[in-house]
Amino acid sequence: MVYFHFVPHREFKRAIGMLSCPSNLFFAALLFLVWVGLFPIAAPSVAATTYLGPGTADGNGVNDGAGISSVVIGNTASNITFTINSSQPMTSYVLYTVEIQKAGQGGSGDASLNNPWGEHIGISTGVNSLINTWGTGASALTYSGTWTQNGSGSYDAGGTGSSFATKTFALSDLGLNVGDSFYFDVVSSYASPSGQAGYGALASTGYPAETDNSYQPWLGTNYYDSATDANSTFNSGATLYTVVPESFIVGADMSHLAFFESKGKVYKDGGVTTNALAILQKYGVTCVRLRLFTSSAAQAAADPYDYINNLDYTVPLAQRVKNAGLQFCLDFHYSDTWADPGHQSIPSSWTNLSFSALVQQMYSYNSNTIAAFRAAGAMPDYVQVGNEINSGMLWPYGEVGSPSNNWSQLAQLMNAAVQGIQAASAGTSMPKIIVHLGSGGDWGATEWFFDNLTAQGVPFDIIGLSYYPFWGGPLANLSNCLNNAANSYHKPVVVAETAFPWNNTYWTTSINGIMPSVTGQVQYVVALAPIVKGVSGGFGAGVFWWGTEYQAVNGVKEAGFNTASWFNTGGDVLPAAIEFGQLSAPLNLSIQLNSPNVQLNWPLSGAGLSLVTTTNLTAPVTWSPVTNAVQNTGTVFWVTEPMDSGPQRFYRLQSNW
């Protein structure tokens, strides 16, 4: 008997079927939803949500490093990460505590939120323990490793700039599973530098001026238990979080779709003219990205290609995206026309504003814009706060880098934008916030920017990076940048823009060993997939193709992107679009009997995973890599293995991290 065994997560196993095969052989297919299990793989990406706090409002009115500017919670299928951003440098005598209570568990679960809270996670110098207080009693589960703060792994004892602390826990250690919800609050407690109990809880995401002095740190121990709070003064501020991993974003920028349609261009599937968005949805695209300019109607009429993407143009297109059953990513440029690392011109109608008025304008503009999309039934799922902002935005006020270094002003502008988006999202899910750079092939530039940005305490959910193989160097550069970003900032990462040519009329020579051609475009998709899917920690969250809708139009300078789109000169959909959509395909491992061999097959959505095997599932199980070479036909991966002479053999895909 030969068994075929597939478990996306490393230990969780459940048989759901058995198939009869020739020669009296049986293959038991053990298949699982990719988000089930106790251990992470590359397939699930990370959901992350930012909650804004009270900023510098400490309960005792002292800027002592206890302020909470924001809290970011993110999860994969198996882990959950808490990041606390402080408005002042963290000090060794300030204690941050995340308190969570699983919904439906009674006590502080659903309605009254009375004490005791269910879980207390201490976040401070020397405090890296989880206090488990489900039911009665408490036990401390100590974790190895250190908290990371400003990338150093330890706390500031003063200094300048803002600070953050972050740590990841296994969901199972918190008694949580995917689909569970819990209430949470974050409080800060203060002890004097001499080690004596001090002011109690100083700040809370629930109450901007928490002053309940009944909180006392448990000094001299390796944990902090805030269950001594008898008053529960911040209960009404507790927030509900649901553990739901974000699906991998299979995205396409279609910002100029209506423009090309107005020029008579059509989009075909199988030779039949069809709605372009329906074509993308059919083949597996899950999200469409649309850029937004601040251009006037007169500017758009005078130069449609460079100015048309204003609100009047984009809202109807966003409605089409939503009506096609696709997610929507809104890309703010904060300019009348294209914004990129070398161009971040302030909108012409904003040029006479003072800086303080510009900050208020950013709040109002973002709030009003999101409200307009929401009213039209096209609420964004993701929002980019700026486009390729390597050197900041809204120059000169928010410019960073040589010769300017306006990090504080850039942070104020971005914070105002996020606050405006949050205000317009009241009563519904707030879009995930993406910060987008153009440096996917340059880790040094990416690190410089995000080190400075996180020091300013700007809240965001996802790191977005552009990578074009004809400009960004080899794919190894992208892999290095994505993995370093994920490891350094504990955020999901997406390739926010990429493309590859399907003919050689503009890009004429080999690009990283792949020739510009219809076949080469597919080869690039296959090469890119494991880079993003294999980002360490499961933080590879998606890819957006740029210029997807481009077709050649007389008199329009398209910088060659009409040769890197997903539609040929006649408007027919290209194979790369179909193959790219396989990034969202169900992760099924199938088997074929070709005596005396068996062939194991899996789709592009399993890129970045390794095939391993064992002959015995009795613990402890030893899994060994399958050493035969992985082949691919288009975007289907496969390995041929000889049939084992023994009674059984098990296979599974697993992550490499």
Of 481, 487, 477, 476, nearest to 464 by C-alpha is 481
Beta bridge partners of 68: 86
In 171-217, where do the E strands start and end?
A: 181-191, 197-204
Q: How far apart are CA 188 and CA 84, in angstroms?
A: 10
CA atoms within 13 A on the CB side of 549: 25
Residue 497 is a catalytic residue? yes
Residue 402: partners with Cβ closer than 8 Å, 6 or more residues away: none
Rg (CA), the chain: 26
Question: What are the backbone angles phi and psi of residue 302, rounded to the nearest 5°?
Answer: -75, -35
Do 259 and 305 touch, CB atoms closer than 8 A? yes
Do 290 and 321 touch, CB atoms closer than 8 A? yes
Catalytically annotated residue among 497, 549, 558, 579: 497
Q: How far apart are CA 228 and CA 346, in angstroms?
A: 52
Residue 353: partners with Cβ closer than 8 Å, 6 or more residues away: 361
Q: How far apart are CA 459 and CA 160, in angstroms?
A: 18
Sign of CA dihedral 328, 334, 338, 342: negative
Q: What is the largest CA-CA distance in the chain?
A: 82
Residue type, 609: L
Residue 99 is a catalytic residue? no
Q: How far apart are CA 38 and CA 31, in angstroms?
A: 15
Catalytically annotated residue among 246, 388, 399, 549: 388
The DSSP code sequence of 235-283 is: GGG-EEEE--PPPPEEEEE-TTHHHHHHTT---EETTEE--HHHHHHHH
Q: How far apart are CA 552 and CA 560, in angstroms?
A: 9
Residue 648: partners with Cβ closer than 8 Å, 6 or more residues away: 1, 2, 3, 615
Q: Is 424 helix (H, G, I), strand (E, B) or coil?
A: helix
Q: How far apart are CA 105 and CA 243, in angstroms?
A: 16
Taking phi over 0 as left and psi of -120 to 50 as alpha, with beta for the rest, 24 belongs to left
What the block records as the tokens of 27 is 């293959």
Q: Which residues are catalytic?
A: 388, 497
